Amino acid sequence: MFRRLCIICFLLIATAMSAQSHTIADLKVQGNKKLKSSFVKMISDVKTGTVLDSVAMDSDMIRLKRLPAVAYAYYQVFPAGENEYNVFYNIEENFTLIPNGNVYTTNDDEFAFRLGLYEFNTLGRNIAFGGFYQRDIYDSYGINLRAPFLFSNKVGLALNFQDLTTQEPVFLAQGVADYKYNNTSFEVLGLYNFNFRHRIEAGVTFFNEDYEYVQGATNPEIPQDFNVNKRLYKGIYEYDGLDYFYQYVSGFKSTFNFQYVISSDATLPDFLIGWNDFQYFVRFRESGKGNWATRLRLGVASNDESPFAPFSVDNNLNIRGVGNTIDRGTAAIVLNTEYRHTLVDKDWFILQGNLFVDAGSWRNPGGDFGDFGDDQNLRVYPGLGLRFIHKRIFNAVFRIDYGYGVTPDATSGFVFGIGQYF
């Protein structure tokens, strides 16, 4: 018995020593054109001179496939000498200069759109830079820069500026008032990646809100014109366990967002707000054509009895077909679930069908959590959609969805956009 244990220990030690002697002579990156090889090597766990480790290489492949510049990635290993190996990271690149657009309508003839242009691989280093123009009764625009690996493979920076003007409904006891709302903001965020699954963001936004009464109900306690300067402190934690195979997604992702807003005017008091998005994706069989996708949002904010509550019910954010900002609340539960089925899959083109149900409920400003069960707050919108997808262009998903409300006083409408709804 003792002799057998000695032999087993010897074999384990010999195997470990043998594994440790298998080193990487060189890491090579090929197939990339715009994406810099030096950048790929910088963000990868595998390095020249380290131990050959399939787990580390598998992790690098997941990390690379999440980059906007990468359509697909795989590795190859070849002997390079005694106990030495060359590792090849093979990259299939995406086209990354992408127009961005969203269009939405309802059966009330409401029409709004947002158009933008973004480069998601600026300088070949996964830096996203671009801007948008929006027409939603009024004109708006924004400029965005996001460089998650600007300083190292863990530390980055994001800068955002926007001048956003919309017509916002304000829900008063006397009825609904329409205000012209302008938000001018500048945001600075620090980005930190613990590893390819866990990351955080933290920063501050300086912004001004300007409300100008247009029409509708009035309330002597609510001013018709006011201008407020604010500061917003933000923190985000994300766990990303998603894996991608072209249009198919599998895995779990959770994103927690917490904000503290400080106001210079008591009309819009300071408040706290936090929400978590849980996303779960299932691919039906590795060779199958179906993909089930679900997003659950749970959110809560300070429960001030204010007509300017932070959570909105909106066509382009959470409930397809419901309309543009038709209600507000101080807490929200929203579930979006859909089945995506690939109808056509050619070399570069994919046609995907989509069957979805969007449902949500809100807590009224100053109310309680029993409001979630109120028929007036609950909205359920099933619907159908199509996705036109280009395999070699990042986020080149043109979507058309039609949502039909089945709850009381519901509307219906189309929602057009670039990218999957979630």
Mean pLDDT of the chain: 90
Domain presence at residue 152: no
pLDDT digits (tens, 9 = 90+) for 43-84: 999 999 999 999 999 999 999 999 999 999 999 999 998 889
pLDDT digits (tens, 9 = 90+) for 263-277: 988 777 889 999 999
> Is 392 in the same domain as 262?
yes
Buried b (16+ CB within 10 A) or exposed e, 152-178: ebeebbbebebebbbbbbbbeeeeebb
> Is 83 in the same domain as 119?
no
Q: Can you tell me the mean pLDDT for 400-412?
A: 93
Q: Which two tokens stand for residue 270?
A: 């300071």
Helical (H) or strand (E) element with 262:
strand 248-263
> Is 30 in the same domain as 124?
no
Domain presence at residue 323: yes
pTM for this entry:
0.80
Which residues, 6+ apart, have CB-to-CB distance to 59 below 8 Å? 45, 196
Q: What is the reported pLDDT for 100?
A: 82
Domain that holds residue 196: 97-145+170-179+191-418
Domain presence at residue 272: yes
Q: Which of 399, 414, 305 is nearest to 101 (CA)?
A: 399
Beta-strand pair 138-147/155-172: antiparallel
Give the three-class secondary structure for 269. coil
Which among 58, 93, 128 is the end of a domain? Answer: 93
CA–CA gap between residue 394 and residue 402 (Å, rounded): 24
Number of domains in the chain: 2
> Is 305 in the same domain as 391?
yes
Question: Is residue 55 exposed (0-12), middle (13-18) or buried (19+ Cβ within 10 Å)?
Answer: exposed
CA–CA gap between residue 172 and residue 179 (Å, rounded): 12
> Is 128 in the same domain as 78?
no
Domain presence at residue 153: no
Q: Can you tell me the mean pLDDT for 349-354?
A: 96
> Is 122 in the same domain as 89?
no
Domain presence at residue 184: no
> Is 28 in the same domain as 140?
no
Q: What is the reported pLDDT for 268?
A: 78
Taking CA atoms, 311 is separated from 321, 333, 364, in Å, by 17, 10, 10
> Is 76 in the same domain as 108?
no
Q: Can you tell me the mean pLDDT for 369-384?
A: 93
> Is 174 in the same domain as 250?
yes
> Is 357 in the same domain as 235?
yes
Question: Is residue 113 exposed (0-12), middle (13-18) or buried (19+ Cβ within 10 Å)?
Answer: middle
CATH number of the domain enclosing 15 = 3.10.20.310
Domain presence at residue 51: yes
Asked if 88 and 76 count as a contact pair (C-beta separation under 8 A), the reply is: yes
- Using the structure block, give the residue that is written with the tokens 């995506």: 340
Q: Reply yes or no on whether the pLDDT at 10 is more than 50.
A: no
Domain presence at residue 160: no
Beta strands in 137-197 (DSSP E): 138-147, 155-172, 175-193
Domain presence at residue 310: yes
Q: What is the reported pLDDT for 106?
A: 54
pLDDT digits (tens, 9 = 90+) for 111-130: 778 899 999 999 999 999 99
Q: Reply yes or no on whether the pLDDT at 136 is more than 70.
A: yes
> Is 118 in the same domain as 86?
no
CATH number of the domain enclosing 357 = 2.40.160.50
CA–CA gap between residue 199 and residue 193 (Å, rounded): 4
CA–CA gap between residue 175 and residue 166 (Å, rounded): 19
Q: What is the reported pLDDT for 420?
A: 93
> Is 124 in the same domain as 58?
no
